Chain A
């Protein structure tokens, strides 16, 4: 292998009680790729995202980011008896990280149902994301001893808003933005944390075809500007087939197919998963 992959999931299983939401998922994302994760409703896509970002802890398996172990776990305690995932790989270490740590390491995300800081302005929304890398202590920040850092944060936020085309709405309340702009703002906010890997959870949900086209261009632009690797969950097949280099398909938590868009389109297992036909 020439490069270490940006993200690597090995036998990642997430089990809630008796429900196996993600079952022994393996996937690899190389630097600079746009990879899509698709699957029918309830297939465990968002759960996989939540495991990567540290919201849920994997029950078993290992997640690596740029070659370093991000999270690792094995079934223990009561889960040892309850565990129903395919047991692959033997993990004996346990490493957990909180979502904020993972964000600071360079994985940013957006949410399926937009989660902006609604009562704050567009500018503040982006500015808050810069706080993740703040150097000053609360004391220095309170008495403005870090005015250089503060100015850098403000300038950076304004430049970013300029770049995503929201500069003229900077003082508007986030809640008052039209739906499409809110999606853009959420991506801008994620970009402000200076990520290498951007996870987009259904970025085009609820968008009309024209807005979807705009979003496609926007994602391409941002990927080039920020040298991003993008991993996205999406239901709009046009967007997925258009934009992604590779696609992973999951159903009932298991990976059922992966490959280039044209391979996926003709894959019988995928068609049966979506249409319910006996393969």
Chain B
């Protein structure tokens, strides 16, 4: 049986793909100076993949239309940034109003940790605090449905942004000046630029996949499919929506923290609603309810937006003739048109709610053959009665 063969083959292929990816990342990391764009796109892709999968958990799997991603990302980003900016240079970041005493004390206490551990602890604290926020606002907000929930979470995200930029918090978040000097992913020796974000992203996504495949994940899907039936089957709607929302916020905040490390400097404007829409775009293009779809589309969209379409932004001369339309900003026009084309041909996103599997890919030639045979048979059948009729006459 060919399908069986594929099933046995698929773990081998997955392992091979993983090793290939690892080797590729290591090679890229060693030649990062000549591949700056590829490295940046891969970093951002990994970060957005975490955010997209985290957004998919309530939106695609639980049927909660939440648009609060930017708010949770900024919580994670600010906490990670404040905790990881080197203590000896932090005064220069907060040069206007100075650092609050308790922040300094906290930072001094955490300074005993070695740098890599500090980053992990900072990401975790950011995630936990975002999860706490999600839990609290979830209690009233998750009683809403669809659009109303979207508006409420959107409002929350704007409140967070306004809070972060407010002068009252100047000594904690540096108000509208933003934070800089955030250490990047690279360790002192310059390695880890790619491996560290990929490792963190892989762990986050792996845990979310485990959640989705657990009994609770099945309950989430039941709520998505039919909340009335789910409730009648003994699933506590509020509890499970809370769980999904809190887990999603935790990982969203971690991706926010990683975004801060990627960008090296953040301010409240980084986390506008547009960021939520960027992630929503990735989720919708990848397919609501498909983890692999979100991951694939996170990388594809980041690469297309930031890299592959770059040449549309540069004026180009062929001989003396300037190619029309090519100027700064035209890239986004092409990008938008591409998105529309994708949505037209893949109504439910690239992956729908299916997951990537080697069996599907390897089974393709066989299915095509089957379809060809079926079409040929249908044609022959359509032609047959005509002949029969002529013979009779």
A binding-site residues for B, Cβ under 8 Å: 53, 55, 98-101, 103-104, 108-109, 111, 115-120, 124, 127-134, 136, 138, 141-144, 146, 150, 153, 189-190, 192-193
Contact = CB atoms under 8 A, between A and B. Distances in A.
A138 B212 CA distance: 11
Nearest to B211: A142
B215 A115 contact: no
B236 interface: yes
Given A115-B226, A117-B221, A129 B211 contact: no
A133 B234 CA distance: 8
23 contacts: A55-B232, A100-B231, A100-B237, A111-B228, A111-B232, A115-B228, A117-B222, A118-B226, A120-B218, A120-B222, A124-B221, A127-B215, A128-B222, A129-B234, A131-B218, A131-B222, A132-B235, A134-B215, A134-B216, A136-B215, A138-B211, A144-B210, A189-B233
Contact of B229 (A116, A119, A146, A150): A116
Given A138-B216, A141-B215, A116 B234 contact: no
Given A98-B231, A99-B232, A193-B233, A128 B219 contact: yes
Interface of B: 207, 210-211, 214-216, 218-219, 221-222, 225-226, 228-237, 243, 247, 353
Nearest to A150: B215
B202 to A, nearest CB: 16
A119 B225 contact: yes
Contacts of A98: 231, 236
A143 to B, nearest CB: 7
A3 B210 CA distance: 47
A132 B233 contact: yes
Contacts of A109: 232
Contacts of A144: 210, 214
Cβ-closest 7 pairs across A and B: A132-B234, A117-B225, A103-B234, A115-B229, A141-B214, A128-B222, A99-B231
A131 B221 contact: no
B211 A128 contact: no
A108 B231 CA distance: 11
Contacts of A134: 215-216
Given A103-B233, A115-B228, A120 B221 contact: yes
A189 B353 CA distance: 23
B235 A100 contact: yes
A103 B219 contact: no
A142 B216 contact: yes
A138 B232 contact: no
A128 B217 CA distance: 10
Task: Please report whether the interface of chain B is mostly helix, strand, loop or mixed according to DSSP.
Answer: helix
B229 A111 contact: yes
Contacts of B221: 117, 120, 124, 128
Contacts of A146: 215
A128 B218 contact: yes
B231 A119 contact: no
Nearest to A140: B214
A120 B233 CA distance: 15
B227 to A, nearest CB: 10
A109 B207 CA distance: 34
Contacts of A142: 207, 210-211, 214, 216
B307 to A, nearest CB: 35
Nearest to A174: B225
B37 to A, nearest CB: 37
Q: Taking each of B222, B237, B247, which has the highest tally of chain A beta carbons within 10 Å of its own beta carbon? A: B222
A142 B229 CA distance: 24
Nearest to B208: A142
Contacts of B231: 98-100, 103
B222 A103 contact: no
A147 B129 CA distance: 30
A131 B211 contact: no
B127 to A, nearest CB: 15
B182 to A, nearest CB: 31
B225 A118 contact: yes
A275 to B, nearest CB: 34
B235 A128 contact: yes
A144 to B, nearest CB: 7
Nearest to A104: B234
B215 A131 contact: yes
Nearest to A153: B215
A193 to B, nearest CB: 5
A160 to B, nearest CB: 13
Contacts of A192: 233
A150 B215 CA distance: 8
A56 B207 CA distance: 38
B234 A138 contact: no
